[in-house]
Every structure is written in C-alpha cells, then in structure tokens.
A and B are shown apart, each in its own frame.
Chain A
C-alpha cells in the first residue's frame, strides 16, 4: 500500500530489510561511475575495482574470524543457501544422499531441500519444541552413515530464536559430516565468529545489517569443496561466475564493519525497545501469545499471535496508520497454509493465522513503541468486535 503521510511512519520490519546507512552509501558511490571498472580486467580501471573487492573481502573475513580466501560473494542469502545445499549435495553424492535440516528454515533452504528430494536425496527435517528450538539430541539420532550435510539456521527469521549451532556443529563433526548455517538474520545482530561456531559454511546477506540489497556471501571453510553453483567467468577464484558487484561488495564490508563495531550499543538499544514493547503488549492487550523462546532470541524480534483475528487484516490496518511489520499469515503470501515455523512450534492454524512479527532497528524510538501499542489496542479491539471467533469465545462456545 502507499505510505500515508498523515501518520507517523514507524518501520518495524527490520528483519525484512534495513535502510542503507549513509556511511555505507558513501563507501559505495565511487564505484558506480567513477571507479566503474570490471574487477577482472587487467588494466588500471580493473585494478582499482579489484583492489576494492580484495579490501572488502579481507575486511569481512576478519570481522567473522575467517580467512579472506574463504569468503565467496554472491547475489544474496538465497543464492548462498542454494549453493551450500546443492553444492555439497552434488559434490558428495557418491558418499550418500541423506541431508538433515530443521523444520523452521528459511524458504531458500526449504525450497532447495524440496528440489533435492525430487532428485532422489533423502531429507530429515528436525522438529522444534514449542519455543522454536532445535534439539541437539534429536540431531544425534538423525545422523546416519550416508548423511552428507547438516544445515540449521543460526537465528530464525520469524520468531528470532537463536539455535545451539555450536553444539549442533560439534555433534555433526563427530559423525564426520559437514555443517552449514544460514546466518542471514543473525549477522550484525549478535556476534558471529565462524571459528567459534565451528561451521563449514555460513550464509549472510548485506541488506539485513544496513547494507545494500542484492549482495551476500557464502563462507566456505578451506578444504571444503562444494560443486560450483553459478558458473560462468573466473570470478571468486572460479567458484562463482558473474561480474563482481563492486559497489555492493564494498558497501557490505562497510556495513558489517559498522555493525560489528557498534554491536553492543545497538543491541542494547534495540533489545530495550523490544522488551518494553513486549511488556506493554502483554499488559494492555488480552489474549495474545508471545511466540518463541524469550531468552534465546535475537534482540530485535517480537512475534505475537493475536487470538481471534487474522494477521493480514491486522497488518494492513497498522499499515494504514503508518506502522510497517510483517505477518505469518497465509493470506499475505497467497498460499492457504500459515507460517510453517509457527505450525512446527505447535500453534493451532487459526492462532498462526493471527501472528505478526515486529522487528526493531537502531533508528526506532520509545515514541515509536508507544504509538504502535496505542494503535494495536485500537485495531485489535476493532477486529475482535467483528470476529465471529471472538463472539463465540465471549459466549463460552470455544475455549482458548
């Protein structure tokens, strides 16, 4: 919908994307028209661009405790996830065709798994508990002699739960199997060190941490050799073809540098707003369910189910008041099934349909929270007043 300028604009959808930080933009600008060379050209224009790419690669590597030869730039998180899964699946098919993932992964992983299943691979989807956490014990039981890869996300995009990746990775390595993690939501929000986590591959994407859209990377530990995914030229040490997106790569490095430098300060601010929001909603709106573990959770994420109402209608009403958030409702996506994450956590279909994700960012204020809570009270009240489910509940016909 168009932005309504009559209202305060409150952006609470930072897990969808973030605005590019001005310092990031300034880092990118020279590489569009001035230093526009192709990083693969051997002339001066090319060398200038190649230097920028190399500098960015070294900077990013250092920030996540990797070597610069272990960073491969991609078009974003989705490509990196596709590459990690299919690259290992194809490279190791002679050793086995069993892959383990979780039931709450991002669509980039889920859809890749479905494609692999259609090609004869066998997938195990680890369950999660009602708080949205994967169990290391279940992983241990799921590992087999023909397992070639385990992929479990570092933090979930819908409910923000932070998975025990270090422990999951240790268990996986004990079985001699490779481990990949999708760290798209976690990067820039919580500390991420590939060395500490011990992972073999890790996906991230710049636009989640105030960098540009259309750029991401796959960390591939030295010695790990997935098949190539996007083939073409000799870019990324021949592992990923395609002219390097120099401005975006430079921007991603700057964005990650800023995110890591200011991580504690930003996380503290964002968490305090999120915690204030959660306590206000729980105090002032009856019949809400806070989805996901309260502690093992990204600082920016709050996910609520508002009983008796449907998520999309709540989302659009908030949008009409200038508040942007997102919904786990099927109706926003065009499918009839609500969020697979919330269903995996055991929520009833109708409750999952009424779920809304609010994700805070460094630019949000306490006034944003107060305004959002005020509008939420109004809108939830209005939608419940016309909800047949709420009417039945009041008459005692259904229980929650």
Chain B
C-alpha cells in the first residue's frame, strides 16, 4: 500500500517531537477524524525558518508527510514555506494512496497555521 520512501519516513521520522524554543505553532485536524498535526517553528528576524518540528497523531501517511513537509521547509523563508503545496509534499514522498491524500493537505495546512501564528505575533510586536 505504501512505497519504501513513505515507510522510511514513517518508521524513522525527521524533526519529530516538540521544539522547546518555538515562536510559531500551528495545529490542524481533530482526534475524532483520526489525524492531528502540530508544527513547531523557530523563525528568525530575517523571516527564515531556522528550526522546525512536529507532533502527529495519525496514520503512517500522516507521520510520513509531517516528516518530509518539515524537512522541506527547514531553512526556507516564511514566504517560500507558504508556497509549499500538498502535491509537492506527495511528490517528495513518491506518491500516496488516493485515500491518504488528505494527510498531505493536513501538512500544508499545519505549515500555514504555524506561519499565521507567527505573523499574528509579529504584527502585534510591530
């Protein structure tokens, strides 16, 4: 059902866990649907995502997309990260089964939610 890349990312995910000094946090999904994705970011004054991590409650596809999505935005600017789409995440994983595509949407949404959180705080401070 899953390709080798998905299995690799799922069984040994990158950027898993809480990021203690995060200044942006986004959470999407809900437990009753079986998927929650929470993304932590540390964004510096140049709007670069210096560090990123995730916590995910969900299936193998949800964990694998969290892993690659966070890897894809590490070191990128906020503007660049906002341009990441779910299809790019799926492409990076080498494809997902049709019924799992919603997991990649969740990753895109979680990134956007974290950045929104940052922008809200940033605007307030300025």
A residues with a Cβ closer than 8 A to B are 1, 308-310, 312-313, 316-317, 320, 329-331, 334, 336, 338, 348-350, 353, 385-389, 391
Contact stretch, chosen from B6-14, B44-52, B74-82: B6-14
Contact among A329, A336, A338, A385 with B16 in the assembled complex (CB-CB below 8 Å): A385
Known contacts A329-B34, A350-B32: A320-B7 contact under CB 8 Å:
yes
Per the CB 8 Å criterion, the residue count for chain B at the interface is 31
The distance in angstroms between the C-alpha atoms of A313 and B7, with both chains bound, is 10
* B36 interface contact, C-beta 8 A: yes
Of all chain A residues, the one with the shortest Cβ separation from B6 is A316
Question: A309 near B57 (CB under 8 angstroms)?
Answer: yes
Q: Is the CB of B60 closer than 8 A to any CB of chain A?
A: yes
Additional A-B contact list (7), CB under 8 Å, known A349-B32, A387-B55? A1-B7, A310-B58, A310-B59, A316-B60, A329-B59, A350-B34, A388-B55
Answer whether residue B106 sits at the interface, using C-beta atoms and an 8 A cutoff.
no
Q: List 29 A-B contacts (CB under 8 A).
A: A1-B1, A1-B2, A308-B57, A309-B57, A310-B34, A310-B57, A310-B62, A312-B59, A313-B58, A316-B10, A316-B60, A320-B11, A329-B59, A330-B34, A331-B58, A331-B59, A331-B100, A334-B97, A336-B34, A350-B31, A350-B32, A350-B34, A350-B57, A353-B31, A386-B13, A386-B17, A386-B56, A386-B63, A388-B55
Residues of A within 8 A of B38 (CB): 388
Chain B CB within 10 Å, residue with most, of A308, A313, A348, A387: A313
Residue B18 at the chain A interface, CB threshold 8 Å = yes
Residues from chain B with a CB closer than 8 A to the CB of A385 are: 16-17
A309 CA / B35 CA spacing, docked (Å):
10
Q: Is B99 an interface residue (CB 8 A)?
A: yes
B:93-110 near A, CB below 8 Å: 97, 99-100
Total of A-B residue pairs, C-beta within 8 Å: 75
A312, A348, A388: which contacts B36 (Cβ < 8 A)?
A: A388
Contact of A388 with B27 in the complex, beta carbons under 8 Å: yes
Q: Which residues of B contact A391 (CB under 8 A)?
A: 18, 55
CA distance A316 to B4 in the complex (A): 13
* Nearest CB of B to A351, in Å: 9
Contacts of A329 in B (CB 8 A): 34, 59
Residue pair B60, A386 in contact (C-beta under 8 Å): no
- Whether B56 lies near A387 (C-beta < 8 A) is yes
Asked if B34 and A313 make an inter-chain contact with CB atoms under 8 angstroms apart, the answer reads: no
A335 and chain B: residue at smallest CB distance: B99
Q: Name the residue in A317, A388, A389 with the highest tally of chain B Cβ atoms < 10 Å from its Cβ.
A: A388
Residues of B within 8 A of A1 (CB): 1-2, 7
CA distance A157 to B17 in the complex (A): 36
- Nearest CB on A from B31, distance (A): 4
- Residue among A312, A334, A385, A389 having the largest count of chain B Cβ atoms under 10 Å: A312
B36 engages A389 (CB within 8 Å) = yes
Please name the residue on chain A nearest to B66 by beta carbon: A386
